[in-house]
Amino acid sequence: MAGRIHLVTGGAGFIGSHIVELLLSRGGRVRVFDNFSTGRRENLAGLAGPLEVIEGDVRDRAAIVRAAAGCAFLLHQAALPSVVRSVEDPVACHEVNVGGTLNALLAARDAGAERFVFASSSSVYGDAPVLPKEEGMRPMPRSPYAASKIAGEHYCAAFSAVFGLCCVSLRYFNVFGPRQDPSSPYAAVIPKFIAGSLGGGGIVIDGDGEQSRDFTFVRNVAAANLLACEAPLRGGEVLNIACGESTTINELLRLVQEVLGVSVPARRGAPRAGDVRHSVADIRRAGEVLGYAPSVGLREGLRLTAGAHRS
């Protein structure tokens, strides 16, 4: 890993910055490409090591081609996140998540990169009733965001087959941890629960709260990305990255407040458009292919996340 350049698109974002931090801690050379629309410069502040930051947009093919020059690995985290946002603006979702991914793949191909790691999403499974979600299941996207991630996976498979670029798609399940912004209108549930429990404007549970998710601490995801750079792969693999455990939203709130040592009542809101009812991952294939195993569970992850919010 030392000496070879890792380009992390969206590297100033929540997940991307944790990947950057882990790469640097292991002696990697890192280049970040980010337009700072959702990423923040402070996410990279204080990180030690050979780090280069380039401001640019994945929709600008020439810019990302320049950024990728000389890179051995391209870890593509840049995206417009959020199911809700994609329903509100499907065109922007497509332009960034599909067009931007194609530009990143072309940049990696032209740079002669060894590996392309794509940040996909558990949302691709939709509301298929079978649990746990296994990679061989037929995708059933229920939102433009999910459809954009399926398109990215298919582009990765095509570039592996046609151009010999070794690509792997990692389907993230409900990632949480420090640096996740609770103030965004599209914020994920855990930072909203923490902020609301600490006096940040109340707590809202969408629907009845019995929907369930596989909450995955961000360090597990960062570690999976590094494994995906180094593991022997054929190219075109799709792998679930999660903890393999199901937690309802109601139970999650109880755990958050237990960690915080508070008790704040929640009010009920309407179910979210495009949301799925239940999601939990089968992570056996990631273990077999990458040697992946989650090192931080939900309770410990919540403790670490709450500590970051309080500091």
Higher pLDDT, 172 or 308: 172
Both tokens of 266, joined, read: 């929640």
Angle between helices 100-111 and 144-163 (to 10 degrees): 20
Residue at 240 is within a domain: yes
H/E segment holding residue 152:
helix 144-163
pTM here is 0.95
Is the CB of residue 7 less than 8 Å from the CB of residue 51?
no
- SS3 (DSSP) at 112: coil
User: What is the pLDDT averaged over residues 84-101?
Assistant: 96
Residue at 270 is within a domain: no
Residue at 203 is within a domain: no
Give me the percent of the chain exceeding a pLDDT of 90: 85
Question: Any idea what the CATH number is for the domain that residue 136 is in?
Answer: 3.40.50.720
Is the CB of residue 78 less than 8 Å from the CB of residue 64?
no
Residue at 190 is within a domain: no
Q: Which of 125, 145, 155, 292 is catalytic?
A: 145
Express each pLDDT in 220-266 by its tens digit. 999 999 999 999 999 999 999 999 999 999 999 999 999 999 999 99
Residue 131 confidence (pLDDT): 94
Distance CA(244)–CA(246), nearest Å, equals 7
Residue at 291 is within a domain: yes
- SS3 (DSSP) at 99: helix
Express each pLDDT in 140-155 by its tens digit. 999 999 999 999 999 9
How many structural domains does the chain have? 1
Distance CA(12)–CA(153), nearest Å, equals 23
Distance CA(8)–CA(74), nearest Å, equals 6
Active site residue 145: yes
Residue 83 confidence (pLDDT): 87
Residue at 63 is within a domain: yes
Residue at 87 is within a domain: yes
User: What is the pLDDT averaged over residues 3-20?
Assistant: 96
Reported as a pLDDT band with limits 50, 70 and 90, residue 277 is confident
Which domain range does residue 136 map to? 5-176+218-244+280-295
Is the CB of residue 308 less than 8 Å from the CB of residue 178?
yes
Residue at 301 is within a domain: no
